[in-house]
Each structure stands twice: as C-alpha cells, then as structure tokens.
Amino acid sequence: MSKIFSLIIMWWTWVAAASLSVLMACFLTKGAQKIDTFSRPFDVFAAGMFVIPVLICGGLRFWMWRMRNPWLALLPFSIGLFFAWQAGLYGIFLFPEFFIVFQTLGGILLLAYLPLFIKFQPAKNQSKPA
C-alpha cells in the first residue's frame, strides 16, 4: 500500500515539474527562434553545465533503482527531478544560444524520472527456520 502512495506522490511531482518546465520554456523565451543561433562556440563551461546534470541525475536514478523502500526513494527522486528541471533552465537563463540543446537535455532527463519507469528492488527473502 505504501508503494502505491509513494508512486502517486511521484506522479504528481513529475507532472508538476514537467508542466512547469514546458510553461517556463514557452513563456520565458519571447522570440526563441531568434536566440537559438549557435553564435557562440560550445566551450568548456557550456560542456560542463551539460555534463554535470547528466552525472547527477544518472547517479541519483541509479541509487533510486537500488532502493527497496518506496518512501526513501522519494528523496533521490525529488532531487533528481529538480536537477532535470534545472538543466532545462540553463537554456533559458544561462545559455540562450543553446536553448534547444538544454531544453532537449532537460526533457530527456525528465523522461528518465518518469514514474512509469521506476521499479523498486524486491525485498530480500528472510531465511526461514528449518
């Protein structure tokens, strides 16, 4: 029963984060077709800002996959979902030249945290007395 409640919480937070990400990408970027010019080279700073959310979200997703308690899984889920949402914001505020790149990264990372793909490890069998 606790697994169902934690999945409901995950679905609500995921829908809220995905909706917020889409709304921010639509309404905070007036004239996005003009700012996505790739006029600046993809330097080390932009590459680091691309790789860091991937590493953090990947590590948290792997950690969440190893958890057996669905309530404890809410911690790496919420932190990873925040970093996935934040990766999309990099394209809006920090790197408007690479808007599409960071929005795609944010979308892929959000899909990695889709509660449909979350499976919990089964509990280890207790040794039964003979």
Enumerate residues 6+ apart whose C-beta is below 8 A from 93. Answer: none
Sole residue written with tokens 């948290």: 60
Of 6-10, 37-41, 114-118, least confident by mean pLDDT is: 37-41
Determine the pLDDT at residue 28: 86
pLDDT band at 108 (very low <50, low <70, confident <90, very high): very high
pLDDT over 80 at 37, yes or no: no
Q: Is 107 left (phi over 0), alpha (psi -120 to 50) or beta?
A: alpha
Q: Whole-angstrom Cα distance, residue 114 to residue 13?
A: 10
Enumerate residues 6+ apart whose C-beta is below 8 A from 82. Answer: 17
pLDDT band at 84 (very low <50, low <70, confident <90, very high): very high
Given a contact cutoff of 8 angstroms between Cβ atoms, the answer to whether 57 and 76 are in contact is: no
Sole residue written with tokens 């932190």: 79
Given a contact cutoff of 8 angstroms between Cβ atoms, the answer to whether 60 and 80 are in contact is: yes
Determine the pLDDT at residue 65: 83
Given a contact cutoff of 8 angstroms between Cβ atoms, the answer to whether 71 and 60 are in contact is: no
Determine the pLDDT at residue 33: 60
Determine the pLDDT at residue 2: 80
Determine the pLDDT at residue 100: 86
- Mean local confidence (pLDDT), 44-61: 93
